[in-house]
Structure 1
Amino acid sequence: MRRVLAILLLWTTHSLAEQPVLRFSIAESWSMPLMRTEQDQPVEGILFELMHAIARETNTRPQYHLMARLRLQQAMRDGEIDVRCYVSTHWLTEPSGNYRWSIPLIEQRDLLIGRSGEYGTASADQLPAQAIGTVLGYTYPTLEALFAQGRLLREDSRNQSLVLHKLQAGRYQYAVSNQLSLQWFNRSLPPEQHLHVLAVLEEQALGCMVRDAPELPTQAVLEAIARIKQSGEMQRIIEHYGDIRQQAAPPSVAERPAHITPGQKSH
């Protein structure tokens, strides 16, 4: 019996070694439900399950590279990562070069939010001068003029979860958050303490970028991503962490005031 187990272990180890590696980037600014890491390795979250599914579908071994969000574009340029997910073309400051885009996978809303009882504001430019919760390294085009004028001050945190905790604790009255993170945060609070949506800053579809190189199964990865979306697996992953359709819908883009323009990018 021991010999059989030893043979199985050797066979499994050899099989893993034979699998080609697919290097995924992980942004330090991600928090649940996107991803949770332990000792610089992902352990759960929507994007962790997506990456695991891509590796499974392409018979590759996932390798995760945790880095600051501002390092991601340089890492792509240097060919240090093979797949970057949860990204939009609008977030890149230069052409994607030797990377190919997948189909859109996740619909994201970026929101202006406030604590329970804060309902008097319809847009960021109606706020009185104060600090507003933001994520370190993210850019917010809708708010840039207000930052430049000193009407709003950035109160940066290293990830979205910390922004929401500080808002709940009263460090500031308002913050910017994506809808997935807000939904996850509110799950742990009684309804009367929920953080609330005041305005939609931007809605956009996010996908993955795959390095186009001879040594990589680039087309196979793109086809795998398409299957994950079209089979419904992507939606099931999202719903596993809480179906955003169960949350009260924030104001739609069509309903928001005319002076609100698309906002947050570079996640």
Structure 2
Amino acid sequence: MPKLLSALLWLVLSGNASAAERALRFSINDSWAMPMVHIENGRAVSGILVDLQRRMAAKVGRQAELLVMPRMRVQHALETNEIDVRCYVSPNWVNSGHYRYIWSLPFMTQRDLLVGSKAATLQPEQLLNERLGTVLGFTYLRLDPLFASGQIQREDARTQDQVLLKLSAKRYRYAVSNDLALHWFNRTRRAADKLHELSEIASDPIACIIRDAPDVPTMELLRAMVQMKQAGEFDAILARYR
């Protein structure tokens, strides 16, 4: 009997330990494109965020579960505790508070650019009656008054890569892209076919939001990100995709 009780106790404790060490759930926005993430058959398989989030989980002894979902569903997933970590988000983009989550330190800066097929210097306020390539659901604070007044019109595509492909195909003359996506798009193109930065629209610090709950190693993740920053791991991940 003592041996049986010991065995049952061991099974209970082992089960509790396994539950406590479940995979950490990270959200992946399905409108992102390389170099941030490559999505294949609904799974995030490579890219900056895949490398970053797997490394974050490994630093605290967990696996990373990368949950691909529409951008509009991420907010609901945050509010219903369906995800533990949301990375690649800026305080400048979030309208409502996340009282159950804690912000990490920024791990990069995103530059949003006005892009064209020909080299020039041009500000978006100089555009008139132009269609501007944008990502569906994305907010561009500087451009919102221009959209609202009708001075320029949005032409949405589902992903950032599709926005640049349509620009390259001359579906419109100008588009908005972040600098990493633009560099990735241009990397294998001939000089004559490259797209060009015309001006900077915004520059935002990019961080993670981590759920503050007993089943999430919140403080350990925050400390791990500080250690990664100090060790140059963020820069090394970004450099692999430049």
TM-score (norm 2): 0.89
State how many pairs are aligned: 226
Residue 223 of structure 1 corresponds to 223
- 8 Å CA contact 1:53–1:228 kept in 2: the answer is no
Distance 1:195 1:38 in 2: 26
TM-superposition CA deviations, 1:214-255 (whole Å, max 9, x none): 11111111111112221111111111111xxxxxxxxxxxxx
- 8 Å CA contact 2:30–2:39 kept in 1: the answer is no
Which of 45, 70, 87 aligns to 2:89? It is 87
Distance 1:188 1:170 in 2: 19
Further displaced range: 148-157 or 29-38: 148-157
Residues 60-209 of structure 1: matches in 2 within 5 Å? 60-117=62-119, 119=120, 122-209=122-209
**Deviation of 1:128 (Å):** 2.4
Kindly report the root-mean-square deviation, in angstroms, between the aligned alpha carbons of the 2 structures. 1.6
Distance 1:76 1:198 in 2: 36
**Deviation of 1:76 (Å):** 0.6
Residues 42-61 of structure 1: matches in 2 within 5 Å? 42-61=44-63
Distance 1:205 1:144 in 2: 20
Distance 1:20 1:228 in 2: 22
Structure 2: which 5+ residue stretches go unaligned? 1-14
- 8 Å CA contact 2:142–2:202 kept in 1: the answer is no
- 8 Å CA contact 1:116–1:192 kept in 2: the answer is no
Residue 264 of structure 1 corresponds to none
TM-superposition CA deviations, 1:102-144 (whole Å, max 9, x none): 1110111010110025x2x521111120211000000112111
- 8 Å CA contact 2:116–2:196 kept in 1: the answer is yes
TM-superposition CA deviations, 1:7-38 (whole Å, max 9, x none): xxxxxxx9xx6642200000011100000012
Residue 27 of structure 1 corresponds to 29
- 8 Å CA contact 1:110–1:178 kept in 2: the answer is yes
1:202 counterpart SS class: strand
- 8 Å CA contact 1:55–1:62 kept in 2: the answer is yes
Residue 234 of structure 1 corresponds to 234
**Deviation of 1:78 (Å):** 1.1
Distance 1:237 1:61 in 2: 18
Distance 1:115 1:20 in 2: 47
2:88 counterpart SS class: strand
Residue 60 of structure 2 aligns to which amino acid in structure 1?
T
- 8 Å CA contact 1:131–1:155 kept in 2: the answer is yes
Residue 95 of structure 1 aligns to which amino acid in structure 2?
G
Distance 2:230 2:188 in 1: 31
Distance 1:135 1:70 in 2: 13
TM-superposition CA deviations, 1:152-183 (whole Å, max 9, x none): 11110011000001101100000000000001
Residue 198 of structure 1 aligns to which amino acid in structure 2?
L
2:39 counterpart SS class: strand
- 8 Å CA contact 2:103–2:208 kept in 1: the answer is yes
Residue 138 of structure 2 aligns to which amino acid in structure 1?
Y
**Deviation of 1:39 (Å):** 2.1
Distance 2:227 2:55 in 1: 10
- 8 Å CA contact 1:130–1:153 kept in 2: the answer is yes
Distance 1:220 1:20 in 2: 15
Structure 1: which 5+ residue stretches go unaligned? 1-13, 243-267
